[in-house]
């Protein structure tokens, strides 16, 4: 199944690039989650054509070889002005690895961003896993609800994250962030996050937009 999805994605990308109009933007995002060792890897490539987003492909694991997720999807910027915007996407999720049980999901993903003034702003990202087979389990995630202050060359922020597997207690994951504006290299963001059990986790996130 993974190979089939990968082939479909390559076909879609080839066709999309061949027909791309001026103004297309490609966003590349990579993330590394760390405690004493790597606890997760994340990679994403998405293309924006005006208000439409397609294709959008993600890979994520959680520091082990027994569970991985590959997501393919797309969506649209539903509203955007100087102070507020909202984007919605949908993904097909295929899992792999010995612990995955070949679970499949549909994942609706929503991001709202806001800007109170020229210095203060942030965003909220929420999604949930809707099972497509018996191996899947419903799971919802607040990936971040963040507020930042822009100092010019860097931003400082803080906020909240959390997740809740169906039938299990909600897990709270508050966070603090530092974002460095690296010009042509993109934005480099560092997270310090408290996990359940009073464990600390660091994250490094690099975002680059190609126009």
pLDDT confidence band for 10 (50 / 70 / 90): very low
DSSP conformation class of 185? G
* 140-187 tens-digit pLDDT: 999 999 999 999 999 999 999 999 988 889 999 999 999 999 999 999
In terms of residue numbers, what domain contains 41?
2-210
Contacts (Cβ under 8 Å, ≥6 apart) of 132: 104, 105, 106
Can you give the CATH number for the domain in which 73 is found? 2.40.160.40
Higher-pLDDT residue of 198, 7 = 198
Q: Peptide bond preceding 55: is omega within 30 degrees of 0, i.e. cis? A: yes
Contacts (Cβ under 8 Å, ≥6 apart) of 105: 92, 93, 95, 129, 130, 131, 132, 136
Residue 168, pLDDT score: 87
Q: What does the pLDDT average to over 65-87?
A: 96
Cα distances (angstroms) measured from residue 40 to each of 43, 178, 202:
10, 19, 10
Residue 29, pLDDT score: 96
Helix (H, G, I), strand (E, B) or coil at 151: coil
The per-residue pLDDT of the chain, averaged, comes to 90
Q: What's the domain count of the chain?
A: 1
Identify the CA nearest to 89 among candidates 113, 67, 108.
108
* 100-127 tens-digit pLDDT: 999 999 999 999 999 999 999 999 999 9
Residue 17, pLDDT score: 52
Task: For residues 63 and 19, give the distance between their C-alpha atoms in angstroms, rounded to a whole number.
Answer: 37
pTM for this prediction = 0.88
Q: Which two tokens stand for residue 172?
A: 């709270």
Report percent pLDDT > 70 for the chain.
90
Q: Peptide bond preceding 92: is omega within 30 degrees of 0, i.e. cis? A: no
Q: Which two tokens stand for residue 56?
A: 């959008």
């Amino acid at each position: 199944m993974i190979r089939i999805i990968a082939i479909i994605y390559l076909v879609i990308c080839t066709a999309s690039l061949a027909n791309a109009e001026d103004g297309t933007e490609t966003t590349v995002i990579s993330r590394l989650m760390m405690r004493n060792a790597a606890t997760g890897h994340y990679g994403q490539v998405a293309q924006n054509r005006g208000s439409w987003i397609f294709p959008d492909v993600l890979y994520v694991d959680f520091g082990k070889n027994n569970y991985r997720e590959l997501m393919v999807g797309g969506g649209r910027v539903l509203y955007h002005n100087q102070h507020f915007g909202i984007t919605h996407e949908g993904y097909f999720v295929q899992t792999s690895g010995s612990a995955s049980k070949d679970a499949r999901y549909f994942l609706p993903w929503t991001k709202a961003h806001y800007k109170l003034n020229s210095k203060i702003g942030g965003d909220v990202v929420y999604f949930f896993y809707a099972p497509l087979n018996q191996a899947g389990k419903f799971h919802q995630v607040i990936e971040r609800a963040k507020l930042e202050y822009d100092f010019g060359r860097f931003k400082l922020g803080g906020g909240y994250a959390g997740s809740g597997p169906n039938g299990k207690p909600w897990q709270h994951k508050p966070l603090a962030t530092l974002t460095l504006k690296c010009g042509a290299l993109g934005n480099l963001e560092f997270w310090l996050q408290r996990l359940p059990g009073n464990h600390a986790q660091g994250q490094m996130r690099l975002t680059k937009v190609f126009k």
